[in-house]
Chain A
Amino acid sequence: MPSSARTLWLPKLVIAPSFALSLLFIYGLMAWNGVLSLSASRMLPNYEFVGLAQYEALFESERWWVALRNLGIFGGLFVGGGMALGLLLAILLDQKIRLEGLLRTIYLYPMALSFIVTGTAWKWILNPGQGLEHLVQEWGFTDFSFGWLVDPDMAIYCVVIAGIWQSAGFVMALFLAGLRGIDDSIIKAAQVDGASLPRIYWRIIIPSLRPVFFSTLMVVSHLAIKSFDLVMALTAGGPGYATDLPATFMYTMAFSRGQIGLGAASATVMLATVAAIVVPYLYSELRGARR
């Protein structure tokens, strides 16, 4: 057993700087942001205490409600659509496909790219007059029009399309790993009993994916709440602020509108939302690991 005094303090000394740096970075700055959100800060930080006034202003701001509503639409469709498509891809790929490796690589490559890169591409493809609209018109549908990207009511759905396209492969990878972990003998037994393949999936395989389903849901939901780059590249929050999400709202208020206190308050609300989703998940994961 390691017993010398040196081996007792050395590991602590080695890890201390990392713990100090990351705990200060995470919790120190988090607390500081909390203080800013209770202050009267506008262009510059100013520590005059104003209580919850910034939060009141936040929830009276029409723009914040637009951002929340967009998060509801985007989050619901991005999480639901991405998980459905990802599960479908995983099941299709799980049928002993010869080209599985290649197809998996193709489905997943968008995750290796920055949202700024793919957003730039989608912006052109979805741009009215260019891209998709032009293409379908060339196919003979001359009165086809596709102006979602510049339509305040529809632009958020463009963000949804690009978001699902980018992350469906990621969900597929998580589900595929889960499918590979299922005991083959259960499936064989069901086949011997004469159950059809869709029935086996619906009644046996998908229910046994529940833990994977749960952790995927956590991961994809917190990605939805943090979404920032994609909106910035695709619509920059526009037209007007029609596609603002909480993350772009926070950025605009804090760094271009000179509303530091309001920006800090919106960041705290985002933090609370993510924490409500992630903390129970982390707690159960860590407890499960200890057994």
Chain B
Amino acid sequence: MMSRPQLSPARLLLLAALLLFALFFLTPLYVMLSASLKSMDEIRNSSLLALPASPSLQAWATAWSASCTGTDCGGLKPFFLNSLLMVLPAVGISTALGALNGYVLSKWRFRGSELLFALMLFGVFMPMQVVLLPMSQVLGWLGLASSVWGLILVHVAAGIPSTTLFFRNYYAGLPDELIKAATLDGASFWQIFRRIVLPLSTPILVVTLIWQFTNIWNDFLYGVVFSGADSKPITVGLNNLANTSSSVKEYNVDMAAAMIAGLPTLLVYALAGKYFVRGLTAGAVKG
């Protein structure tokens, strides 16, 4: 172990700078949370940074079940449920396919597999605007327009390149000898996957699940383009709520709604941030 540096003036300055930055990043979250616990009277008459005098969950209750998005005043609850119905299958399917693809692309390469993978990889970066118009027509033909199933299909198709990338890079680190020895023992493609590869996959499985969950929960573009009246995800609900112009703007309800929409991914980040960061950096730089 190295000894810790002394608390010199330079070091105090460094710590002060780090804490100031921490405040810069935390303040919007604090403002959001404290406003969501205030009444509108208090928001008008107190400072932005003041703690709520008598914290109340009234604004949260309103945001959840009685706030207005456009002309409909049923709160965010139906949007939240749509998001759950969309996220769970989309994350599960895209992760499972990514694991299988990664297994093939690292341990069962065939002629042309690298080229196909490179072509697929462009999907991680391309601007999704180019698929919006044709995809809405495809969804119409498939009878999936404006449905949660249509959104699931889009999220799976859009997610496969990154899930495949994650698993491929991770499996490339597993020794090939492991696979060779197992094939010599007569183990099949599926047996090797189930008994050898899958049990070693926990870390990358967690990274991918968290990555896909965060991305799909937070998606707005597909949600706003492909959803119908009954399938809008939470981000679209929140945006409609915050942009509904009524005579009296209820900022406490807006902030509570933003907290509700952000809470699931924030919780996942708080519990497993390490894995989220790993996904974030794995998507940018090869593993």
Q: Which of B25, B49, B284 contacts A169 (CB 8 A)?
A: B25
Binding stretch for chain A, among B64-72, B125-133, B201-209: B125-133
The answer to whether A165 touches B24 (Cβ under 8 A) is yes
Q: Who on chain B is nearest to A268 by CB? A: B130
- Whether A192 is near chain B, meaning CB under 8 Å from some CB there, is no
Q: A11-B108, A18-B164, A19-B120 are in contact. Are A121 and B32 (CB under 8 A)?
A: yes
Give the one of A19, A115, A268, A274 with max B CB within 10 A: A19
Q: Inter-chain contact count A-B, CB under 8 Å? A: 275
Contact A18 B97 (CB under 8 A): yes
- CB interface residues, A 238-291, toward B, < 8 Å: 246-247, 250-251, 254-255, 260, 263-264, 266-268, 270-271, 274-275, 278-279, 282, 285-286, 288-290
Whether the Cβ atoms of A121 and B258 lie closer than 8 Å is yes
A250 vs B11: C-alpha distance in the bound complex, in angstroms? 49
B7 smallest CB distance to A (angstroms)? 11
> From A133, which residue of chain B is reached at the shortest CB distance?
B48
A236: contacting residue among B214, B218, B243, CB under 8 A: B243
Say yes or no for B148: interface residue by CB 8 A criterion: no
Whole-angstrom distance from the CB of A181 to the nearest CB of chain B?
10
Task: Assess whether A92 is interfacial by the CB under 8 Å rule.
Answer: yes
B127 touches A274 (CB 8 A): yes
- Bound CA–CA A263/B286 (angstroms): 34
Contact between chains at A19 and B116 (CB < 8 Å): yes
Beyond A45-B137, A274-B125, whether A92 also contacts B285 by CB under 8 A is no
Q: Is the CB of A29 within 8 A of B135?
A: yes
Q: Give CA–CA (A14, B138) in the complex, Å.
A: 24
A271 touches B239 (CB 8 A): no
Shortest Cβ distance from A93 into chain B, in angstroms? 7
Asked if B217 CB lies within 8 Å of chain A CBs, one says yes
Q: Note all chain B residues with C-beta closer than 8 A to A99.
A: 18
Q: Is the CB of B17 within 8 A of A115?
A: no
CB–CB A120/B281 < 8 A? no
Q: How far is the CA of A6 from the CA of B197 in the complex (A)?
A: 19
**Cβ contacts B130-174/A at 8 Å (1 or 0 each):** 111111011000000000000000001110110010000000000
Is B81 close to A, CB under 8 A? no
Instruction: Please report the C-alpha to C-alpha distance between residue A282 and residue B285 in the assembled complex, in whole angstroms.
Output: 10
Chain A residues closer than 8 Å to B100, beta-carbon distance: 14-15, 18
Q: Which residues of B are found within 8 Å of A107, using beta-carbon distances?
A: 21-22, 25
* Interface pair A270/B220, CB less than 8 Å apart: no
Q: Does A106 contact B (CB under 8 A)?
A: yes
Contacts of A216 in B (CB 8 A): 284
Do the beta carbons of A12 and B25 come within 8 Å of each other? Answer: no
A233 within 8 A of B: yes
Chain B CB within 8 A of A215 CB:
yes
| Known pairs A114-B262, A278-B122; A289 contacts B286 (CB<8 A) | yes
Q: Is A73 on the interface with B (CB-CB < 8 A)?
A: no
Stretch at the interface among B54-62, B84-92, B269-277: B269-277
Distance of A96 Cα from B11 Cα, bound (Å): 11
- Which of chain A's residues have a CB closer than 8 A to the CB of B11? 95
Interface check B12, CB cutoff 8 A: no
Cβ-defined partner of B48 (8 Å) among A6, A108, A112, A134: A134
> Does B51 reach chain A (CB closer than 8 Å)?
no
Which of A10, A32, A130, A222 sits near B251, CB closer than 8 Å? Answer: A130
B188 engages A7 (CB within 8 Å): yes
Asked if residues A267 and B273 are in contact (CB atoms below 8 Å), the reply is: no
Task: Assess whether A177 is interfacial by the CB under 8 Å rule.
Answer: yes
- Docked-complex contact B261 and A174, CB < 8 angstroms: no
**Chain B minimum-CB-distance residue to A282:** B121
Contact assessment for B126 and A135 in the assembled complex, using a CB-CB cutoff below 8 Å = no
**A279 interface neighbour in B122, B158, B251, B258, Cβ under 8 Å:** B122
* CB contact between B261 and one of A117, A212, A228, A289 (< 8 Å): that residue: A117
- A211 CA to B21 CA, complexed, in Å: 26
A232 touches B220 (CB 8 A): yes
The answer to whether B116 and A23 touch across the interface, beta carbons within 8 angstroms, is yes
The answer on a CB contact under 8 Å between B157 and A115 is no
B26 within 8 A of A: yes
Chain A residues in 8 Å Cβ range of B194: none
B45 → chain A, closest Cβ, in Å? 11
State the CA gap A115–B130 with chains docked (Å): 21
- Tell me whether B178 is interfacial, beta carbon within 8 Å: no
| Interface residues in B179-223 (C-beta closer than 8 Å to A) | 180, 183, 188-189, 214, 217-221
Residue pair B25, A11 in contact (C-beta under 8 Å): no
Q: Which residues of A sit under 8 angstroms from B53, Cβ to Cβ?
A: none
Q: 17 extra interchain contacts, Cβ-Cβ under 8 A, other than A29-B138, A32-B133, A263-B133?
A: A12-B104, A19-B116, A23-B120, A26-B131, A92-B18, A103-B21, A103-B22, A105-B273, A106-B25, A114-B218, A117-B258, A117-B261, A125-B28, A132-B48, A135-B49, A229-B220, A246-B129
Closest 7 CB pairs of A and B: A114-B218, A11-B108, A112-B269, A32-B134, A267-B129, A117-B262, A25-B157
Q: What are 27 A-B contacts defined by CB distance under 8 Å?
A: A1-B180, A11-B110, A15-B113, A23-B120, A25-B131, A33-B133, A92-B21, A93-B18, A107-B21, A112-B265, A114-B218, A116-B258, A117-B235, A117-B261, A120-B255, A120-B257, A121-B29, A124-B254, A125-B28, A222-B127, A226-B129, A233-B220, A267-B132, A267-B133, A278-B125, A282-B118, A288-B286
